[in-house]
Structure 1
Amino acid sequence: MSALGLTGVLGGCGAGIGSSDVTLHLVAADYGTSAANSSRKYWDALIDKYEAGHPGVRIEVDVYSWNDVDRKVKEMVDAGDPPDMAQIGAYADYAAEGLLYRADDLLSIPVQADFVSQLAEAGRVNGAQYGMPFASSTRVLFYNKELFAEAGITPPQTWEQLAADAAALKAKGVKYPYALPLGPEEAQAETMQWLLSGKGGYTDSVGSFNIDSSRNVETFTWLKDELVGKGLTGPVPPGKLNRADAFKAFAAGDVGMLNGHPSLMAMAEKNGVEYGMVPTPGKDGRSSATLGVADWMMAFKKHGHREEIGDFLDFVYGEEQVLAFSRDYNLLPVTSSASRTMAEAEQDKHLKPFLEQLVTSELYPVGDRAWAAVNAAVKKQIGKAVAPDGDPQSVLSSLQVTASRAGSGQ
């Protein structure tokens, strides 16, 4: 991280391990939308650059889609042959089983200190950091400016205004006045965004799961009655609508508004859809918190090579590499140094609304070993809460039972 004077640190560390003959295996998720922009291209370029200065270390990388990558790593772990490093969606289960190196066993102090504070905090289990944030994003409300102008409405700041806007859009024949993707692809994100806007969340103020709280039940009851029940969420039932399909519909001009992350900007611009972005509406005003999402890098202890892994990860988290990845995939940097650079750079001004949201964002409770089970259950069940015959209280209580059982190891 040359901006912080770490070039010498990395060079010295590399020289110390350069005489070894080590191959490290990395499994990574693919953030690309096609072979043309696959994450493999990013990793191949980064690894070529690293290996050129570290002739004794070889990095082998396997890149899998998000549909497969977590399962692939789990299969490797279950077979007793985990990769040296994995860049996936969750780390807490592996940390709880004692399989991972701590971040301070691997990273130099300046690199570890450079992580954005709330992301670093989310990577901790029992006070120790095991999950190293790799990519992050936040959510804002996207709206179609042309459809809003035709309906004579302005972007909402409250739930009541959002419902009124959706009704006006429906009256103009908009296919999806508000797209509510509670399908299995990423239901946990839309769910948390709404829970936060209702002053609730997956957990309470001390970090314990509180999914069936009165505030959360009230939020999903409102969604069921005031949006879904009034036909304001489009022709596909929310429980069957995936985020990717909702994004495609927005890019096709068929959606009035939806919660979105930075990648939606390029999709909309490619199709000539003029869009606006505003903070997420809340129950009584703009939501005081928004969803922050981070994906994680972790290192398994099974095969050793702690020094080599640490040196490589110091390089991965250099400002140049972090900025390159963030810019390639319209994501937010996970380090403070890269965030400052992006905030001041003209080329990154389109990401400023998301950067501004990051400081007040709340992340999934990924440090709780129960999160993996809760996450899977939300994807399968939450759509039922807003179905015509659905019962929000019953569905949320069932998810709370899942959290309690998973937390106790049942």
Structure 2
Amino acid sequence: MTALGLAAVLAGCGGSGGPDGVTLRMVAADYGDGAAGSSRAYWERLVRAFEAKNPGVRVDVSVYSWNDVDAKVREMVDAGNPPDVAQIGAYADYAAKGLLYRADELLSIPVQADIVAQLAEAGQVDSVQYGIPFASSTRLLFYNKSLFAKAGLDAPTTWQELASAAQALRARGVKYPYALPLGPEEAQAETMQWLLSGGGGYTDPQLGTYSIDSAANVTTLNWLKNDLVGKGLTGPVAPGRLNRADAFAAFADGEVGMLNGHPALMQPARKKGVRFGMVPMPGADGPAEMSMGVADWMMAFKQNGNAEQAGTFLDFVYSERNVLEFSRRYDLLPVTTSASGVMAAARRDADLKPFLEQLPASELYPAGRTSWASISADVKKRVGAAVAPGGNPAAVLGGLQAAATRVENAG
């Protein structure tokens, strides 16, 4: 998700509050790709409508890029001045420190019940929900239909078919037969999608512990290293230096045969005339049984004691109309059952239906673990080296597992 690099405080939303003198401060992430698409416009409209219905409460919203928003909230918390409401990438650290309201202290019963159960569960720490999902997405394999047609290819369903397709595309001069972004921007996502396709993942669902260096994960990264990267099928930029944004831009420019993508890739690709298809991620022996899901989070801090006002605002944010507007504006999946039902049935949302269908069989990051932020950062730094020439997947995954164990034990 890309956004503006500077914060934008919504004009006209300040002041001393309504008759009760309550002004909520909110920090939000920007999902737009420039000034015209900035999330600022969405929040500006929503806040205007909310304040018209709730004259006792005013809302100041500051919008920051995804590169900055988590750090900005961290700075505010460390300075003893947290916002009332934050819409960012992680919540577990704050919940573990007792800084957040529980979801049931904020949302009305109908609104809380409307949150997609799988996403609500991912917002729990020690079986209590603190993180409220705000937006979600899943991943599919995007492929360039024009390049595939010229090479006489069908969409792959197995790793071997993917590698064979990449070889055929390379033979026809395609710059990135398969784009493998393991650079520092979002390597944890590409890695997780591949681990799931190999029957592994970051955690063991039975034991509830990290399983980063499992045999299945080692097998998957060895295959990537030897059968894709080692055979020159991932393009001119080393995977460890290729960021997702650059891979998406190359796909929109017609330079990529295949890559893992989320719904936000559809619009820029169409704008540049790329004909693309989307299929489930191939697995070792057939389509992967599990896809990766991602959720961003809403939370409310307790320090200012504005639970009632924050809850009233969040009930408004999670109304069907507002959830639908945001999801459609940014090609994201809704986090409420009511909005999901509308989008699943609406012709205008047909492009999102394949992603909606993936959600029930998706696995999310282990966001409820206070260690996840540290582990995710470690994956971003180190996993690219695993598939590089001379890389050692078992050693890299073993190092990540050891680091995860240390962080868990320290917590």
Please give the range of the TM-score, normalised by the shorter of the 2 chains: over 0.9
**More divergent stretch after superposition (400-409 vs 355-364):** 400-409
Q: Encode CA deviations 1:349-408: one digit per residue, 9 max, x unaligned.
A: 111110110111100000011100011111111101101021101111111122112212
Please tell me the residue identity of whatever aligns with 2:96.
Answer: A
Q: Aligned-pair RMSD on alpha carbons? A: 1.0
TM-score calculated relative to the size of structure 2: 0.95
Mapping for residues 44-123 of structure 1, pairs under 5 Å: 44-123=44-123
Alignment of 1:9-408 (within 5 A): 19-205=19-205, 206-408=207-409
* Runs ≥4 residues deviating over 4 A: none
User: How far apart in 1 are the matches of 2:281 and 2:113?
Assistant: 30
Q: Which amino acid aligns with 1:80?
A: G
AA aligned to 2:57 is: V
- Three-state SS of the structure 2 residue aligned to 1:303 is coil
Given residue 158 of structure 1, which amino acid in structure 2 is its aligned partner?
Answer: T
Cα deviation, 1:161-205, whole Å, max 9, x if unaligned, reads 100100010111100000000001111110000000000000002
- Displacement of 1:331: 0.2
Whole-Å separation in 1 of the counterparts to 2:403 and 2:298: 26
Secondary structure of 1:77's counterpart equals helix
Amino acid at match of 1:342: M
1:18, distance to aligned residue in structure 2 (A): 7.2
Shift of 1:153: 1.0
Provide the secondary structure at the position in 2 that maps to 1:63.
Answer: strand
SS where residue 203 of structure 2 aligns? Answer: coil
* Letter matched to residue 288 of structure 2: S
Tell whether the 8 Å contact from 1:26 to 1:83 is kept in structure 2 after alignment. yes
Unaligned runs of 5+ in 2: 1-16
Tell me by how many angstroms 1:43 deviates.
0.4
Secondary structure class of the residue paired with 1:359: helix
DSSP 3-state at the match of 2:23: strand
- Percent identity (aligned): 67
Distance 1:409 1:25 in 2: 33
Could you tell me how far apart the structure 2 residues matched to 1:209 and 1:112 are?
Answer: 30
2: CA distance, partners of 1:27 / 1:151: 48
1:130-181 C-alpha deviation (Å, 9 max, x unpaired):
0000000000000001100111111100001100100010111100000000
With structure 1 as the length reference, what TM-score do the two structures score?
Answer: 0.95
CA distance in structure 2 between the aligned counterparts of 1:375 and 1:408, rounded to whole angstroms = 17
Aligned-partner Cα distance in 2 for 1:80–1:136: 30
Equivalent position amino acid for 1:111 in 2:
V
Unpaired runs of at least 5, structure 1 = 1-16
SS at match of 1:199: coil
Q: For residues 19 and 118 of structure 1, what CA distance do their matches in structure 2 show?
A: 39
What is the aligned length?
394
Letter of the 2:351 partner, please give it: H
For residues 187-243 of structure 1, the C-alpha deviation after alignment (integer angstroms, 9 at most, x for no partner) is 111000000000000000232111001100110000000000000000000000000
Deviations 1:219-272 (A, max 9, x none): 000000000000000000000000000000000000000000011110110000
